[in-house]
Structure 1
């Protein structure tokens, strides 16, 4: 492995949707000899992305939403974060700076463009996020997870490169296509679970004909306040279930599932398409710019999932869909294969190559 003796800065908001892709890119860049540094906010510092020793720095940031006083406080935090970012960039002299969205990425990306560092943003969703929108005109390149991303102005389309959404490396190793018995359903709802799934899924499962539900296995993520109620429902109907507020082994559970019921966050879509699993997607109705609907529609339009808008999700609607899945293994296999065709298991490598291409700009300047 050749040592590049250079530094790449990764700026990401402190949620899993931003942190996981950045971490996947970090692992590839490290394997190629780059020194990689994270810049995030307090949430990012607390996010458990790895047991590895990661060099990470916190800066101030805030969204510009809320009351007038909230917006004024947000402006001051962003200005302070901009000063902190200037200091870090001057200190580390990065060959490139990559932003993964979320407001904590904005000060770093603005500072990098003002200094003249090669820059790139990565958009995980099918709608350009607000933080990325703020800096899209200033960066050298825009990497996307989807082939069609709304919110990117026509004049910036020449900057766009399709890489896919980098995901956890262990997911690629979990890629399986053989559907196993007993029939297993994985229910996940984002980092904190989804109350609507805890209300509707148990009712739909328990409404299945006895011959269909008797051999089911349910692995379901729930909010703490929903755990006991959901467990009681499954127990009363003799359904084998494992419930948790957070699953550590999502790649294993997803690869073992015949069907996944989930929200439609970018990381979940990437995981489903990498593993190649059929899914029923219920987009989070209040997601920023309704990006989860755009994410779900992208894969559903390609035959790799079923999408049910939250407003249309009822026990009867979900039960009917479950019956069709349980009684048609070939249908599940077909949908899973189509989901797999939407995936990008080499997304982290593609993104790393794109980063190295823009990093060459700074090397040419030095040379």
Structure 2
């Protein structure tokens, strides 16, 4: 076993940073290391971290704001966060800091730099976020998920680890079983996907009755849209399961024939684990339009189709769903191309990278 290390995992902010950070933290602990989570105090963190028994350091932080006065306020908040982290590291001095790329990782990383502690960054998206771009120059290593990221971080120490996922995202060894109906998985969620919920449900209800009878829909709407989307399917007498959210995502991925969803980094990685073809609708307001870059990477690999929200109509979407139902051979080829092995052991790969950087 490698020498025991004290590792700070800075993963506060959003679920897209907390889940992979927590997965890697558990991988590090399983390798015998001491791990402290560094968070930002957001409500989502307490929900996600149920079951975590290790130490936690909370340093309040806010996202980037722009404009003359707001930029000054952002700079002041960063300085204050660095000071708080620098002080906290007297008590929780790590041998290495692993930062999952959110704005809340800036304070711990800059404080670690002042103390001469190596920093490992993880960038989940094809286009690096602002925090990673700010911190990349002095990082010991940057772990990435998309090869396209290399074009944006040239000349730096990069390693492809994939996206650390929760333990339940383990693909079954047996092949996918066939079902009499075509199984469509729609993931609207809460991150600005009201338009996806509306348009997909309307498109499904536009389909001819015989097409609807051959289709089974599982639609994850997020809490805001659950009731009226369910009502829409019921009024159309559609075979649909409507859920605000679920803890059984792995089972849904395993049984679906096609997904319609956003193109967040975690979603893209989960699709790859299960080899699930998808129609990706990038969130139009994502920073640096990174969801479009994620989606185009999967499209280039032949694993997904991409449509911009501004270009999508209900009629086009209904025709797309009907066409995919009629072309199982195409989806079969997409499924083969969608399958990605790199995220299966990503947490272990990232943990090993942290070990290597801590020893240098």
TM-score by structure 2 length? 0.93
Task: Report the CA distance between 1:277 and its aligned residue.
Answer: 0.6
* Contact 1:24–1:348 under 8 Å retained in 2: yes
Question: Using the alignment, how far apart are the partners of 1:85 and 1:176 within structure 2?
Answer: 47
Q: What pairs with 1:137-286 in structure 2 (closer than 5 Å)? A: 137-149=137-149, 152-156=152-156, 159-174=157-172, 177-181=175-179, 182-192=181-191, 194-286=193-285
1:75 aligns with 2:72: no
Give the 3 Å change call, closer, same or farther, for CA 343–335 of structure 1 in structure 2: farther
Task: Report the CA distance between 1:275 and its aligned residue.
Answer: 1.2
Question: Using the alignment, how far apart are the partners of 1:243 and 1:9 within structure 2?
Answer: 39
Q: Deviations over 1:2-50 (max 9, x none)?
A: 4743211111231011111111111211110011111111116434144
1:33 aligns with 2:36: no
Structure 1 residue ranges without an equivalent (≥5): 362-367
Q: What pairs with 1:81-100 in structure 2 (closer than 5 Å)? A: 81-100=81-100
Give the 3 Å change call, closer, same or farther, for CA 82–259 of structure 1 in structure 2: same
Q: Which residue of 2 aligns with 1:134?
A: 134
SS of the equivalent of 1:171 reads coil
TM-score by structure 1 length? 0.91
* Contact 2:35–2:55 under 8 Å retained in 1: yes
Indicate the larger mover: 274-283 or 53-62. Answer: 53-62
Task: Report the CA distance between 1:56 and its aligned residue.
Answer: 1.6
* Contact 1:60–1:78 under 8 Å retained in 2: no
1:314 aligns with 2:331: no
Give the 3 Å change call, closer, same or farther, for CA 179–329 of structure 1 in structure 2: farther
Indicate the larger mover: 63-72 or 177-186. Answer: 63-72
SS of the equivalent of 2:36 reads strand
Indicate the larger mover: 244-253 or 110-119. Answer: 244-253
* Contact 1:264–1:284 under 8 Å retained in 2: yes
Q: Which residue of 1 aligns with 2:22?
A: 23
SS of the equivalent of 2:8 reads strand
Q: Which residue of 1 aligns with 2:348?
A: 349
* Contact 2:165–2:343 under 8 Å retained in 1: no
SS of the equivalent of 2:102 reads coil
Give the 3 Å change call, closer, same or farther, for CA 131–352 of structure 1 in structure 2: same
Task: Report the CA distance between 1:316 and its aligned residue.
Answer: 1.6
Q: Which residue of 1 aligns with 2:119?
A: 119
Task: Report the CA distance between 1:132 and its aligned residue.
Answer: 0.8
Question: Using the alignment, how far apart are the partners of 1:236 and 1:19 within structure 2?
Answer: 38
Task: Report the CA distance between 1:67 and its aligned residue.
Answer: 4.8
* Contact 2:100–2:121 under 8 Å retained in 1: yes
SS of the equivalent of 1:169 reads coil
1:305 aligns with 2:312: no
Alignment size in residue pairs: 358
Q: What pairs with 1:335-346 in structure 2 (closer than 5 Å)? A: 335-341=334-340, 343-346=342-345
* Contact 1:177–1:337 under 8 Å retained in 2: no
* Contact 2:39–2:59 under 8 Å retained in 1: yes
Q: What is the Cα-based RMSD across aligned positions, in Å?
A: 2.0
Question: Using the alignment, how far apart are the partners of 1:138 and 1:57 within structure 2?
Answer: 23
Give the 3 Å change call, closer, same or farther, for CA 278–176 of structure 1 in structure 2: farther
Question: Using the alignment, how far apart are the partners of 1:34 and 1:195 within structure 2?
Answer: 42
Question: Using the alignment, how far apart are the partners of 1:176 and 1:207 within structure 2?
Answer: 35
Task: Report the CA distance between 1:89 and its aligned residue.
Answer: 2.4
Q: Which residue of 2 aligns with 1:364?
A: none
Task: Report the CA distance between 1:252 and its aligned residue.
Answer: 1.5
